[in-house]
Chain A
Amino acid sequence: MEWADFTAGRTGDLHGRAIREMTNTTNTRRDTLFDVEEMELNFGPQHPSTHGVLRLKLKVDGERIVDCYPIIGYLHRGTEKLFELHPFFQNVPHTDRLDYVAAATNNLAYVGAVEKLIGLVVPPRARYIRTILCELQRISSHLLWLATHAIDIGAMTPFFYCFREREIILDLFEEYCGARLTLNCMRPGGQPFDLPVGWGERCAEFLDDFPSKIDEYEGLLTNNRIWKKRTVGVGVLPADLAQEYGVTGPMLRASGVQWDIRKAMPYEAYGDVEFDIPVTYNGDTYDRYLVRMEEMRQSVRIVEQCLDKLPDGLIMAKSPRVLKAPKQSDAYFSIEGPKGEIGFYLVGDGTPNPHRCRVRAPSFMNLQVVPILAKDQLLADMVAVLGTTDIVLGEVDR
């Protein structure tokens, strides 16, 4: 597709108007004093702040971005096809590699879809363990986001502070399931392992400590004038545009739409715990930052409640030896991942393998608005916008 088609067809004037109304930080006036020649700039796939192998073809007029065209596919591994070649349970490790910084939520979305397709009922203890894992995963994913986002904007120290806490979460994961990133910690029908002895206490210890660490990051960033200058009013995403593009997760909530699958359609143990959904209304980079910071605090609340309420009993449902989906069956199950709604659509054909698997990857949907957010911003804002979109290319390319 050509540049002109791309922007003329898709962005419309909706965004331009919104930008003009809501921000006056960027100078959108075209200077006609000199001849202006636009430069094409390849932003990625090997660039420090594209978070993987995203390539953005930018047209820049000096520092100002005239046009932005993302090119994806550098990490395409044919995962969806791979799902069709393996029985249901063997696909769980593949889901680890979609959003590779948030494996637990991917696992849950997938096994949830399988359970829905086959009709397995998960025992309550397994549900609680899953909730705990997912919320810890959300914290660790947000920490990684904050670390990279801060380093994109130039603050180095939060990076190390975030990784310090993320390390503890990864240790907890390792203790539970033996891996730190590619967890493979759920199975269709329940949990493969119970929590190790003393795990709950170590987790609670971390949770007690963690809010003070969030305060530390916020001390470095939240009220920092430079941070605010770089993020407030940058990359404004209006709520209607966000909904049109299917943007989910913290990005949507920062635009003022209170949509969280954990509350809207509670799965696992989310119906039994109390938590708030942070919503902000400006839809800019700073608000997305605020939303994610608050989400980490809420996740701490959720895990604490789950640890308190953790029921005894089975961790695995009674399930057949070979999981077979009914003929001509399909199921879609989605959960609120750290980056947005992650869902799996499975079609069964009576064999142990899924006939088709479609992944609804939040990063892919969220990436779509990046060209709109980046347009008419400066090159430095591009980095801030991309950082706050929180994409993981493993999930975008699949």
Chain B
Amino acid sequence: MFDLLATGAKMAVWMTVLLSVTPVMVWVERRGAALIQDRLGPNRVGPLGLFQSLADAVKLLFKEDIATLESDKFLYTLAPMLAVVPALTTFVVIPFGPDIEVAGRPVSLLVSEAETGALLLLALASLGVYSLVMAGYSANNKYSLMGAVRASAQMISYELALALSVVAALVPVGSLRLDHVVSYQQGTWWGFLPHWNLFPQFIGFLVFLIASFAETNRLPFDLPEAESELVAGYHTEYSSMKFSLFFMGEYMSMATLSILASTLFLGGWHLPGLDYSGWWVTAATTGLLVLMAKAALFLLLFVWVRWTFPRFRFDQLLRLGWKVLLPLAIANLVLVAALTVSGVL
């Protein structure tokens, strides 16, 4: 009973974080874009336009739900649901705080203590491509189809680089569990440099970052929905809540990858110098806040990059994925493995 409650509470925390990330990120994205572009941005709904996303959500709820006549209705409805599922499930293996003790019982702030942690995460994350392919295929629209083709090629080729950079981060730890990755990264080198994977595995970090841009279909890799070429790509025909589910899925997978990046490379919820040994509520809150602050850095980077760069072309994107990122990721993996075997890491 207690375990069930604890798991429910942990899931509730993650759900709250992930579901609130979309409206907040939309606001940050739009206001940030306005600041970059010398504009005002949304400023009508609520103070500083904070409730704009809320108003948009209400608007989207009340919009007509349109499906084209010859679309495959089953897949057409399933696709937007699948877009959210991987983003909402990957968090189960990501820890957001230290092991705490509630009412005399030990609780680890990690929903699933599966030994296959990172493997499960990668498996769940790779489900994301199905939703895009289904959406593009079922809508019976040529632009959607091209978006789906692009999405499948892009996400599969960047998943390799992504996975290899994750594996490299796991090698020195010797475990697939992400809470072990975090505990490995505690402490410092020479007293001032945090013992983060970022420093020895900078190449892996870069590969992970670039691949996560591609995995989330963000500029400069937003080819599946390149609006100047494919109108809106795989979700051209979607409207109403179905469209907003894609929207949410994109932002949530952005958040998931940001959290994963901070867990793998920036020490997760742990920050050297902070005290996590106090009351369990403070410990958990501090852990969550530190993790969110680190993830926010990545999210801001996503926004910043989006408003700066042009888009790659399809062949260039694949070339970059297969010819640059994959060799780099493999080289990084070999390097890290060699360093680990020789005992440096």
Direct A–B contact present (CB less than 8 angstroms): yes
A373 to B215, CA, bound (A): 32
Cβ of B309 under 8 Å from chain A: yes
Annotate A370-389 by CB proximity to B: 1 below 8 A, 0 otherwise.
00000000111111000000
A150 touches B310 (CB 8 A): yes
B310 touches A154 (CB 8 A): yes
Given contacts A154-B228, A226-B220, contact A63 B310 (CB under 8 A): no
Binding site of A, secondary structure by majority: helix, strand, loop or mixed? helix
Partner of B226, one of A47, A157, A229, A380: A380
List of A residues within 8 angstroms of B33 by Cβ: 156-157
List of B residues within 8 angstroms of A383 by Cβ: 228-229
Cβ of A70 under 8 Å from chain B: no
Report B27 CB to chain A, min CB distance, Å.
Answer: 17
A62 to B145, CA, bound (A): 10
Q: Give the A interface residue count (CB, 8 A).
A: 34
B310 touches A153 (CB 8 A): yes
Given contacts A49-B228, A49-B229, contact A157 B310 (CB under 8 A): no
A160 touches B308 (CB 8 A): no
Cβ of B311 under 8 Å from chain A: yes
Cβ of A18 under 8 Å from chain B: no
A27 to B146, CA, bound (A): 18
B residues 35-71 touching A (CB-CB < 8 Å): 36-39
List of B residues within 8 angstroms of A380 by Cβ: 223, 226, 229, 311, 313-314
List of A residues within 8 angstroms of B309 by Cβ: 154-155, 224, 226
B311 touches A153 (CB 8 A): yes
B residues 4-53 touching A (CB-CB < 8 Å): 33, 36-39
Report B99 CB to chain A, min CB distance, Å.
Answer: 45
A47 to B226, CA, bound (A): 12
Cβ of A220 under 8 Å from chain B: yes
Cβ of B323 under 8 Å from chain A: no
B37 touches A48 (CB 8 A): no
Cβ of A152 under 8 Å from chain B: yes
Cβ of A39 under 8 Å from chain B: yes
Instruction: Give the interface of B toward A (CB within 8 A).
Output: 33, 36-39, 142-143, 146, 149-150, 219-220, 222-223, 226-231, 306-316
A-B pairs, 10 with minimum CB distance: A154-B311, A160-B37, A155-B310, A49-B228, A154-B310, A153-B310, A152-B228, A380-B313, A226-B310, A157-B307
Q: List 27 A-B contacts (CB under 8 A).
A: A26-B315, A27-B315, A48-B231, A49-B229, A62-B149, A63-B146, A63-B150, A63-B315, A150-B310, A151-B228, A153-B310, A154-B219, A157-B36, A226-B220, A226-B309, A226-B312, A229-B312, A229-B313, A230-B312, A378-B314, A379-B230, A380-B226, A380-B313, A380-B314, A381-B313, A383-B228, A383-B229
